[in-house]
Structure 1
Amino acid sequence: MTRAHLTSMAVMITALMTGIGFPALADARVTRLEITSKQSYGTFKPGEFEHWEGRIFGELQPTEKIPDIEKAPRNADGLVEYSEKISLTFPKDPKSGNGVLLVDIPNRGRPYAQALYNSPRDEPFEAGATEAGTGFLQDRGFAVAEVQWELGKGADLPVFIDGSGRQRFIEGVGFAIVRDAADFLAHATSDKSGTANPLQGAVMWTLASGKSQSGRYLKTFLLNGFNMTEGHRVFDGMHIFVSGAGMLPIMQSGTGPQSSAAEVPTFGNPEFRGVNDGVLTIGDVIQRVKARGENPPRMILINSTTDYFSLRASLSRTGAEGTAERRIPDNVRVYDIAGASHVVLRETHCELPPARLDWSPVSRATLLHLEDWVVKGTEPPESHLMPLEDAKNDPMVLHAPSYLPKAIVEIPKRDEDGNAMGGVRLPDMEAPLGTNARQNPPLSFLCMLAGAYVAFPRTQADAEAAHDGRRPVLERYTTRDEYVNRVRRATRELERDGFLLPDDSAIIIQSAAASPLWHTSPP
């Protein structure tokens, strides 16, 4: 059966089950869509794509379950107003796509979809990239929307004056903004003034993607009931990256100018509140969602190695007490990427070179698994986790805060080279050329997330000169063919297990074959 047939069936089934047709949702909470820029984004497998930018304006009932919204000024209709920046990248003929809208939740105002899914191997994209890169998302037919939600980063939130005369921003409206914008793009025909929804009739399923801060956004969004509107689910699936055990403290009103979501616990401020408080595990989130009678979305969560050292990621598996692992819900998969860093940066001011393991291939493969899980019901691979051990008093680990006295932070077990064991193992870890995702002094905010890559010595003479006890590269792999064959076997195993696509396998093998380490006079 073709994707078009599946789409038509899904539309009919949804309409029958809900008792409402999509046109009835045209008067959703979004009141105005204002497009300020339109340009071509390039030509991909489905055809030409366009990139639009603009703003969405909307209204909320003052009875929404958002702290302090009842204190906000109201318009003539008694409603609370908001607006936010939005950008759309979609096929010029929207119906030539795959029927899936991917809502990219910006991180501190920066889009992340291109860095997560379109990033090339040798020049990894950082947060904020808008280039097409590999064009993976577009070749696969995804429509992508980026909706700003954060105070000071493109969202105009309602305000009120508190009893002491201070202006306060109602930050919880940032959840309603994404809910309403996503629902409008997926289901509405037009805004209240008659401006057409550019994606009308082309979206059958809606996914959300968020990394780090915006991954915590999505978990908090789900926990607080924002994934339901008008009696139906907003996001059918969520792809959440490197969110640790954290939530997002914006169900409150802040004084600005910075968002309450901007900070996290660090080695300099390990007692920071609002992130590792309350709900820590995804199992607890899903339990609360089901207790409200909601059907939770299908979810894939990705962890990096540095998340365990710097973001207390183990608490997302054990909760705030002991080391016993909590059960992962049936609608969730969790994949630890061995050797991955929270961010891949080209350069830092840390003591060691930044970690450089390219884990975007796993992002691409697991996004397609999430799509198939939502659209076809095809279950993705089982969760792959790294084995953990108590971090004890390791000064290179961000330990539990004093307000969680029974919590035990754990870190991945490591081999004799210092590389993490278990998890999803890219060829760079199965045939390593160095230690990946070591902690990187001085453990500033950037260094604790970037981690370090420390190359193995090339020869025994190099090892002795550097007083490096790790086995040299030319003793591990006596010829380049031996090394490339190790890489090739690892790529085929990952393809078989569902964590690597053939296109990425070819790039990884080519990169290994081009390594200069076996030249007589290496650079």
Structure 2
Amino acid sequence: MSVSLVLSIDDRRPFADGHAFGEAGAYERITGKVRFKADPNGNQPRIVDLDKAPRDGDGLVDYAADFCLLKPAEPARGNGRVFFDYGNRGNKRALQFFNDAVGSNNPLAIEHAGNGFLMRRGYTVVWLAWQGDLLPGDGRLLLDVPVATENGRPITGTVRVEYIVNAPGIHVIPLSGLAPSRSYPAASLDTSKAQFTRRRYAASERQPIPAGAWAFARIEESPAVDGLGRDKAIAPSDSHLYMPGGFETGWIYELIYEARDPRVLGLGHLAVRDFVSFLKHADSDAAGTPNPLREAGGRVEKAYAWGRSQTGRCIRDFVWQGFNADAEGRRVFDGVLPHVAGGGKMWMNHRFAQLTVLPGQEHENHYTVVDRFPFSYARSTDHLTGRDDAILKRPDTDPLVIHTDTSSEYWHRRASLVVTDSEGRDLPQPDGVRVYCWAGSQHFASPLVAKPERGIAANLHNTVATSMFFRANLDNLDRWATDGTPPPASRVPSVADGTLVSAEEWRAGFPAVPGVMLPRGPSRLELLDFGSALDETGVIEHEPPRVVGDKEYPVLVPAGDADGNDRAGVRAPMVTAPLGTYVGWNLRRPELGHGAMVGITGAYLPFADTAEERVQTCDPRPAILQRYSDAADYVAAIRRAAEALVADGLMLEEDVERAVAAAANWNRARHTTRLPGEAS
């Protein structure tokens, strides 16, 4: 293998104080940096603006990425498999979701191992920075990529950013909209050369904000000289937006401005490709440093990738663009697990891409480049454009896929388009794909919930526990990739059986829960025109994008049962034996965008505790004590539901007792019932 990277190991130490994880034994953590050299004329898919990046004396482009490994201290005791966690916005997530661990970007202590699942299985957990627009802080993994220029002169272009504030008193926002993300500097501080508007809802008319009512500036503060307060100044800034009167909560503010200095962000895909290929195949790097996974009898037989939300989209983009073939044409990832990606991709391989920005939803960032055909792994024709395409189209190097979405992605992230064609008809998936809808769950389903909360929403957040599905899916993927044992069949709502329906059909069947307002429908997806140059050169020509006539894709949602819980999909024990209605949508509080959905958030709508309370509140759903005789009966129902999932191959035996233990005392960590916890 021709190796074009060099490892620099900064730290190597025992993980979890040397705790032994079953047959895999103790683990160690290795951190450092990988230095890459990219050949603009090399064997890789097109990377936008790579030809405009600075080159060294050999005509190569330098870039570098942070990395972190958790590996068996005795490599021969591992399972020979890489588990690659696409760090979400630079943050390490896998241990949090697969091991039910305390989340940390510095995983080192025993609490960061959680239940030890990945270690007990013998995986080497790998992180590599792939996102090149992040700023340092909070231990994030950073990718350092070059700025593109035109023969040494700055490149400029139009950038559009939306801002929604959910608390009063906000006067300054980074141009990127989010503190961890680099802003594209404004080419001019003259506000008359930019367009700044606000609107009530995504489809509302834009209201211009006068050029004199805002500035490219930031607030600077310091202790006053006399010690009696703080001195404050307004300083010009090419990376901040300042509103003297403050932003109004819930409104959508939109800035369109001329920016400069695009970064070559598509190198993130190349970094992942080359690093994972190196770990799988190379004995040492270009400087002779040994591959740490091949030391002392270590081996790498398979590599799997997992990503959630932003990084689930990144996986789909990586595969679609052809990066799952390395420089020698070998498959990089043998299997991938994109989670809560919905129908989107990353679209980071274009000029002035914004990777940290939330994808298109009903209210937030509705008109983005993220959701463009193809949406599905299966080949189909877009009836609106005539294009024929699929995410999987390279049989020799395509990975096996287990794609999982929650109910929230059907409401917020157009997930129905993963399993339908562009006209809303069921679309069978390739043999190497499984798609599961985690019924009644929400986008961010934390394994560790202290209590139900509302945040900026009108209803309590969805509290359904689903982390057990991650573990079962990984075991299923490994068997599939190793010996060809197929996972359980896909479980998704479908048009054919009436479980995937329009918003109107869904509303007609949803129970009249007291005091609950229903959403208008899922996030629409109009056909958007960003300009033909986006596909040809990676340059967006129209901001905001042009909505093409009245053309849009049908976005469908899961049909509910009599309680309003999703009928189809993989139902977690909490959904099969419910204490409320668990949905994939939630609505903003009146002062924060009344009636609009809270992006990627679901809701928990509690049942009445007793029949008497149900009558008093006019709740059409049976009360808890009309479903279960007591707390012990509820626990028994949870056990039955968990055991049924084990029998179906969708949950591990070890997770049954965890689900049962959580259900004790009416699962109070996730519910609001006031019933006695012990059986009477």
TM-score, normalised to structure 2, is 0.68
Question: Would you say 1:341 and 2:442 are equivalent positions?
Answer: yes
> 2:597 and 2:125 mapped to 1: Cα distance?
28
CA drift of 1:502 comes to 1.1
Q: Distance in 1 between matches of 2:456 and 2:424?
A: 35
In the alignment, what sits opposite 2:329? 231
Q: Name the residue aligned to 1:323.
A: 424
- 151-160 vs 232-241, which moves further: 151-160
Where 1:253 maps in the other structure, the secondary structure is coil
Structure 1 pair 352–68 and aligned structure 2 pair: CA distance change class (3 A) = same
After superposition, the CA RMSD in angstroms is 2.5
Match of 1:397 among 500, 522, 538: 522
1:158 matches 2:146: yes
Kept in 2, the 8 Å contact 1:47–1:92? The answer is yes
Task: Tell me the CA shift for residue 313 of structure 1.
Answer: 0.7
Structure 1 residues without counterparts, runs of 5 or longer: 1-24
Residues 132-162 of structure 1, C-alpha deviation per residue, up to 9 Å, x if partnerless?
Answer: 1111100111101011111233001122224
Amino acid in the other structure paired with 1:301:
H
* Other-structure match for 2:360: 265
Higher helix share: 1
| C-alpha deviation, 1:237, in angstroms | 0.5
How many angstroms does 1:188 deviate by?
Answer: 1.5
- Structure 2, gaps ≥5 residues long: 135-141, 156-259, 381-387, 494-498, 508-518, 529-547, 669-673
- 1:66 is matched with 47
Residue type at the aligned position of 2:676: H
1:384 corresponds to: 491
Question: Which residue of the other structure, out of 475, 481, 494, is the alignment partner of 2:645?
Answer: 494
* Letter matched to residue 187 of structure 1: H
Aligned to 1:8: none
Aligned to 2:314: 217
Alignment of 1:197-212 (within 5 A): 197-200=291-294, 201-212=298-309
- 1:307 partner amino acid: E
1:108 & 1:217 partners in 2: Cα distance?
11
1:214-236 C-alpha deviation (Å, 9 max, x unpaired) = 01111111111111111211100
Give the ranges of 4+ consecutive aligned residues of structure 1 lying more than 6 Å apart after TM superposition: 443-446
Deviations 1:72-131 (A, max 9, x none): 1111221111101111111001121111101111111112211221116xxxx5685842
SS of match in other structure, 1:254 = coil
How many percent identity over aligned positions?
A: 31
| Alpha carbons 1:418, 1:438 under 8 Å: kept | no
In 2: Cα distance, 1:416 partner to 1:272 partner? 35
Distance 2:625 2:121 in 1: 40
Q: Distance in 2 between matches of 1:174 and 1:508?
A: 38
Alignment partner of 1:89: what SS? strand
Counterpart amino acid of 1:167? Answer: D
Aligned length: 488
Q: What amino acid maps onto 1:401 in structure 2?
A: E
CA distance in 1, matches of 2:130, 2:663: 41
**Is residue 2:10 matched to residue 1:36?**
yes
Specify whether residues 520 and 357 from structure 1 end up closer, same or farther in structure 2 by C-alpha distance, changes over 3 A only: closer
Aligned partners of 1:133, 1:458: CA distance in 2, in Å? 33
1:192 to 286, 296, 302: 286
Equivalent position of 2:266 in the other structure? 172
2:676 aligned residue (506, 519, 522): 519
Per-residue deviation, 1:210: 0.8
Match of 1:408? 554
Distance 2:563 2:391 in 1: 42
Go from structure 1 to structure 2 and tell me whether the alpha carbon gap of 1:58 and 1:325 turns closer, same or farther (over 3 Å shift). same
The alpha carbon displacement at 1:199 in A equals 0.3
Contact 2:82 2:124 in 1 (8 A): yes
Which of 297, 300, 309 is the matching residue for 2:411? 309
The residue correspondences of 1:288-303 to structure 2 (distance < 5 A) are 292=394, 294-303=396-405
Q: Report the CA distance between 1:389 and its aligned residue.
A: 0.2
Residue number in structure 2 paired with 1:436: 582
- Higher-Rg structure is 2
Distance 1:219 1:461, change over 3 A: same
- Return the match for 1:94 from 64, 75, 82: 75
Matched, 1:453 2:604: yes
Q: Is the partner of 2:640 in helix, strand or coil?
A: helix
Residues 345 and 371, structure 2, Cα contact 8 Å, conserved in 1: yes
TM-score if structure 1 supplies the norm length? 0.87
Cα deviation for residue 271 of structure 1 reads 4.2
Pairing partner for 2:463 from 356, 370, 373: 356
Query: Residue 248 of structure 1: SS of its match in structure 2?
Result: coil
In 1, distance between residues paired with 2:365 and 2:675? 45
Residue deviations 1:20-57, cap 9 Å, x none? xxxxx2x4221x11121223222211111111211111
**Is contact 1:438-1:453 (8 Å) kept?**
no
SS in 2 for 1:326: coil
For residues 379 and 146 of structure 2, the distance between their equivalents in structure 1, rounded to whole angstroms, comes to 31
Q: 2: distance between equivalents of 1:272 and 1:35?
A: 42
